[in-house]
Chain A
Amino acid sequence: MSGKVIIDVKDLKKYYNDGAVKALDGVTTQIKEGEVVVIIGPSGSGKSTFLRSLNMLEYPTSGSIKVDGADITAPTADLNLHRRKMGMVFQHFNLFPHMTVMGNLTAAPRKLLKKSREEAESYALSLLKRVGLADRADAYPSQLSGGQKQRIAIVRALCMQPEVMLFDEPTSALDPEMVGEVLDVMKDLAKAGMTMVVVTHEMGFAREVASRVIFMDGGVMIEENTPSELFGSPKSDRLKSFLNKVL
């Protein structure tokens, strides 16, 4: 994979409580167009903090994040414009309960991209078909199963036609039998060439889909490699013991 660099992170640090908690302690990495980067690591290792920093939902303490060449950590950066380019999928879906599925999908495209209702809805419907939920357009989120909610949440992010999709443990809140349907949607997305950064405990997904797997611990990236290398011949002891526990 030698596509152009979309996200360029340099020495990213995020401290809480005046440095008592070092959620990120110097992370440097690049994410290229079309890459599927899977981040794994124990609880509290800083995976979410890293992912949320890419969207500036957390403000880093120091370091820089360049997206398409522009530093989004600069105080003058237009974060609202930046966030449109980064689709985000949360562990707990965060669908808007007072809107129908279609309302959830079209609110941002209509208000922010100034699409007409017809335009926004027909695009949303085409994506709904792709995830097999076209018949649920008029349902409210509370009428959906967890797996359906998360698929809708993915579609909601896609409706903004983002350059990158960020996933923070998208299947962790799901009943086991619903994990597959969400992972399938993500696999399709990866096949279609979407640039993705995925925090997950689904090692099977990482093996099958990732172009690169990053192992984080203690706020730093300990090891990164292709899935077959990283899972097949882990180098650091911390990764070895982590893999022993999860595999």
Chain B
Amino acid sequence: MNWLTDLKEKFILNFVEKSRYRYLLDGLGNTLIITLLSVMLGVVIGVIVASVRSTYDKNSEAWKRRGGVFHVFMKAVNRLCHIYITVIRGTPVVVQLMILYCVILASSRNDLLVAVLAFGINSGAYVAEIIRGGIMSIDNGQFEAGRSLGFNYMQTMIYIIIPQVFKNILPALLNEFIALLKETSVAGYVGIMDLTKGGDTIRGVTYSSFMPLLAVALIYLVIVVILTKLVSVVERKLRKNER
């Protein structure tokens, strides 16, 4: 029973002594705050960017016919959105975080805010593409049926397209948020005390790696498993409602 007492000692050293478990608890708090706020920011950005891009796809011909600067303006905005998505999806989130922290917002003292901005801006690109993909997956006949009844573009979107898109993409969106939760684990790179950094800090003072890292992994795993379960419940509900 030697190894059991050894394990117990390690446990006490890493978590109980000097209330070191607080590193994990506080870290978890920060991880959840960052994730939640970035999800919200990501959804806002994603909806706006997806709206611009889908609206442009469906209306550019009509705008062109009418002429004027509006079409030119929207073309530029659409281009900008496209660049945003390409850049964000084409670079690692850690690099984006560091650029924001060390270059663009170097003067900011609010680290948490910088992290939320970085992860929110990052997530927005993915959310935008999920939404746009959802809109594109709806048969064009649905648009045409709406327009042929006399609905304008906005009404067609609101009454006919979005309700169908929402059902289709909800699981993908929730999965994106689960991925985001894990991605925030790089927040420690810019000195934020998130869950991962918390475990790392314990490791730094106790010189034992196994327990703190295992604890960190377990906590992520439990949250992800719970959220994944939630997604499948939502998925099942949606499938039952659609007949």
A94-B151 in contact (CB<8A): no
26 A-B interface contacts by CB (under 8 A):
A57-B147, A57-B148, A59-B61, A75-B67, A80-B147, A80-B151, A81-B150, A83-B149, A90-B144, A94-B141, A94-B142, A94-B145, A95-B145, A96-B145, A96-B146, A97-B164, A98-B163, A98-B167, A98-B242, A108-B149, A108-B150, A108-B151, A111-B151, A112-B150, A143-B243, A157-B148
Cβ of A84 within 8 Å of any chain B Cβ, yes or no, is yes
Q: Is B149's CB under 8 angstroms from A92's CB?
A: no
Q: Which stretch from B14-22, B152-160, B227-235 is at the chain A interface?
A: B152-160
Residues of B close to A76: CB separation below 8 A:
66
- Does B109 lie at the interface of the complex (its beta carbon under 8 Å from any beta carbon of A)? no
5 closest cross-chain pairs (CB), A and B: A84-B150, A94-B145, A88-B148, A94-B141, A108-B149
Write out, one digit per residue, whether chain A residues 129-171 have a CB within 8 A of any chain B CB (1) or not (0): 0000000000010110000000000001100100000000000
**How close is A71's CB to chain B, nearest CB, in angstroms?**
13
Which of B67, B144, B148, B160 makes the CB contact (< 8 A) with A86?
B148
The reply to whether A98 and B164 form a contact with Cβ atoms under 8 Å apart is yes
Is there contact, CB below 8 Å, between B149 and A157? Answer: yes
Report if B6 contacts A (CB, 8 A). no
Q: Given A97-B164, A98-B167, A111-B155, A92–B147 Cβ distance below 8 Å?
A: no
B242–A80 touching, CB < 8 Å: no
Q: Does A64 contact B (CB under 8 A)?
A: no
Starting from the known contacts A83-B148, A108-B151, A160-B149, 11 additional A-B residue pairs (CB-CB under 8 Å) come to: A57-B148, A75-B67, A76-B66, A80-B150, A81-B150, A87-B148, A94-B144, A96-B146, A97-B164, A107-B159, A160-B150
The prevalent SS among residues of B at the interface is helix
Q: How far is the CA of A96 from the CA of B167 in the complex (A)?
A: 14
| Measured CA separation A203–B62 after assembly (Å) | 36
How many angstroms from the CA of A87 to the CA of B149 in the assembled complex? 7
Interface residues on B, range: 20 to 34
Assembly CA distance A95 to B164 (angstroms): 12
Within the complex, the shortest CB–CB distance from A140 to chain B, in Å, comes to 5
Which of A83, A98, A111 makes the CB contact (< 8 A) with B147? A83
Rounded to whole angstroms, the CA-CA distance of A220 and B142 in the bound complex is: 29
Contacts of B139 in A (CB 8 A): 92, 94
> Which B53-78 residues sit within 8 Å CB-CB of chain A?
61-62, 65-67
Scan residues 145-194 of chain B and give those whose CB is less than 8 A from a CB of chain A.
145-152, 155, 159-160, 163-164, 167
A55 within 8 A of B: yes
Cβ contacts under 8 Å, B145 to chain A: 88, 90, 94-96
CA distance A232 to B153 in the complex (A): 46
**In the complex the two chains form, is A90's CB within 8 Å of B149's CB?**
no
A216 to chain B, nearest CB (A): 21
Q: How far is the CA of A140 from the CA of B144 in the complex (A)?
A: 20
The smallest beta-carbon distance between A129 and chain B, in angstroms, is 21
